Amino acid sequence: MDNSSAPAPLAERLRPKSLEDFLGQNKIMGPKSLLRKSLENDCVPSMIFWGPPGCGKTTLAHIIKGKSQKNFICISAISSGVKEVKSLLAEAREPEARKKGTILFIDEIHRFNKGQQDALLGAVEDGTITLIGATTENPGFEVNKALLSRCQLILFAPLSEDDLKNLLDSALKTHPKGLLRTDISIAPEVVEKLVHQSDGDARYLLNQIEWIVGNLGDKKELDLTVLDEIQYKKPLRYDKSGEEHYNLISVFHKSIRGSDPDAALYWLHRMLQGGEDPRFILRRLMRIAMEDIGLADPNALLLATSAREAFDFMGVPEGLIALDELAVYLSLAPKSNSLEIAGMTADQIIQRTGMLPVPKAFRNPVTRVGRELGYGEKYEYDHDSEGAYSGQDHLPSSLNGTVIYRPTLYGKEKQLAERLQSLNAIKKKKKDSL
């Protein structure tokens, strides 16, 4: 069957062709912005466009194609390999092409591996091409540092609700390449729902309205009843190995550290609804119990291990309640990072001083040679001392008096701090008496 006459999707038909029609992104594309002036002067630098789907990255690249006098080549990283890239770069190095200049636009550039990205370096550096890459993923993770350092990073924001409302009205009624359905009324609450669920994604909104209107039949009113029948919810923006993955686990951790149970539950369920593995979240919760709560509440780690066991036993969905319980408990628990700091302090001391010998008093005199060398001499058995505490210094002699663990005065750790203070007083009294 010949589909050559089939109309293009609505989102493609309404794609802006000029800067004047470009939607949103006022911060980077305002009348006085540097990027806009660069486009108008046909003097764009190599750039990486970074932003969520449907916010105008590819559209702006096509506008540049229409305005620039340079050769413009467009490829997708999904379907292009090193061989094609090298062939395009060879063409760009031809004398006529060098004279005119070449802009190479790579959509989904984050899908290029290191080898494919490396192939671009020389051509960008010597001016053979002006590179424009578009990505939904954090370039800091997905674009190699050498290539990223040779490009300007342009950050695209999700489209505003006002922008999307204007786009919806235009697509439905006024745009000459739109649906031109002036006979259809659309309830305000439907507009709100469509825009809200589009989450700043113009392409998603246009695909939705095209599908819905195409299936209305004889209905002339688009209300919530119709919408509930045929609309599916846009998947949450989440990539278990990309930028949003790290952003969400970061804010989740910081919400608990900041003793904010409401935020902790919100971000927890954002991750779960996005498809995150609950065991990944449980591992982070166990880390929080050790890193941010520690000895201020030793029960935190016990509850974390119990939550893991409960989830493994119960599974989904009931086992997820264990994650909720743990997240709230850790949020409200007293906080102490004294153990993390103590560990780092110990590491720094060892790196600075090297492997200092164990004091002879604490070596095990199990061999004749050891006994002849004085192993175990002057060791005081603590249980034979008053209060079961001898007050001996167990560090290497050159480190005596070094403080590594500094307890906080929060939660149960306050009791440990008081205990440590009393032990230090006994040790000082003993030394003063010698």
In the block, residue with structure tokens 């989830």: 311
Asked if residue 237 has pLDDT above 80, the reply is no
Which residue type sits at 9? P
Domain annotation for the chain: domains and CATH numbers: 25-155 (3.40.50.300), 161-230 (1.10.8.60), 243-332 (1.20.272.10), 338-433 (1.10.3710.10)
Residue 402: pLDDT over 80: yes
User: Which of 223-227, 230-234, 245-249, 396-400 is least confident?
Assistant: 230-234
Mean pLDDT of 107-125: 87
Q: Looking at the predicted structure, is the pLDDT value of residue 234 above 70?
A: no
Question: Exposed, middle or buried: residue 383 (CB in 10 Å: 0-12, 13-18, 19+)?
Answer: exposed
Q: Region of 391 please: left (phi>0), alpha (psi -120 to 50) or beta.
A: left
Instruction: Tell which wins on pLDDT, 233 or 411.
Output: 411
- Selected residue with higher pLDDT from 5 and 26: 26
215 exposure class (CB count in 10 Å sphere: 0-12, 13-18, 19+):
exposed
Look at the block and give the residue holding tokens 């009294």.
429
Please report the pLDDT score of residue 1 as a whole number: 46
Exposed/middle/buried for 129, CB within 10 Å: 0-12, 13-18, 19+? buried
Residue 3 pLDDT > 60: no
State how far the Cα of 356 lies from the Cα of 400, in Å rounded to an integer.
12
Burial of 274 (0-12, 13-18, 19+ CB in 10 A): middle
Q: Residue 22 and residue 25: Cα distance in Å, rounded? A: 8
Residue 246 pLDDT grade (very low, low, confident, very high; cuts 50, 70, 90): confident
Residues 6+ apart with CB under 8 A from 115: 82
Query: Per-residue pLDDT averaged across 357-364, rounded?
Result: 90
Longest dimension (CA), the chain: 104
Cis? peptide before 95, omega within 30° of 0: no
Burial class (CB in 10 A: 0-12, 13-18, 19+), 15: buried
Q: What number of helices (H) and strands (E) belong to the chain?
A: 21, 7
Among residues of the chain, what percentage have pLDDT more than 90?
Answer: 48
pLDDT tens sequence across 185-195: 888 888 988 88
Beta bridge partners of 186: 222
Residue of 281 and 221 predicted with greater confidence: 281
Q: What's CA 57's distance to the chain center, in Å?
A: 20
Phi and psi of 218, rounded to 5°?
A: -85, -5
> Taking 60 as the threshold, does the pLDDT of residue 423 lie above it?
yes
User: How many residues does the structure list for the chain?
Assistant: 434
Q: Read out DSSP for 151-178?
A: SEEEEPPPPPHHHHHHHHHIIIII-TTS
| Rounded mean pLDDT, 400-419 | 92
Mean pLDDT, the chain, rounded, equals 88
How many angstroms separate the Cα of 56 from the Cα of each of 22, 60, 102, 331?
8, 6, 22, 39
For residue 308, pLDDT over 80 is answered with yes
pLDDT of 392 above 50: yes
pLDDT of residue 103: 94
Alpha carbon distance 250, 254 (integer Å): 6
Give residue 317's pLDDT.
84
Reported pTM:
0.62
Sheet with strand 152-155: strands edge to edge? 71-76, 102-107, 130-135, 47-50, 152-155
Mean pLDDT, rounded, for 302-328: 92
Q: How far apart are CA 429 and CA 79, in angstroms?
A: 77
> 194 is written with which tokens?
């469509």
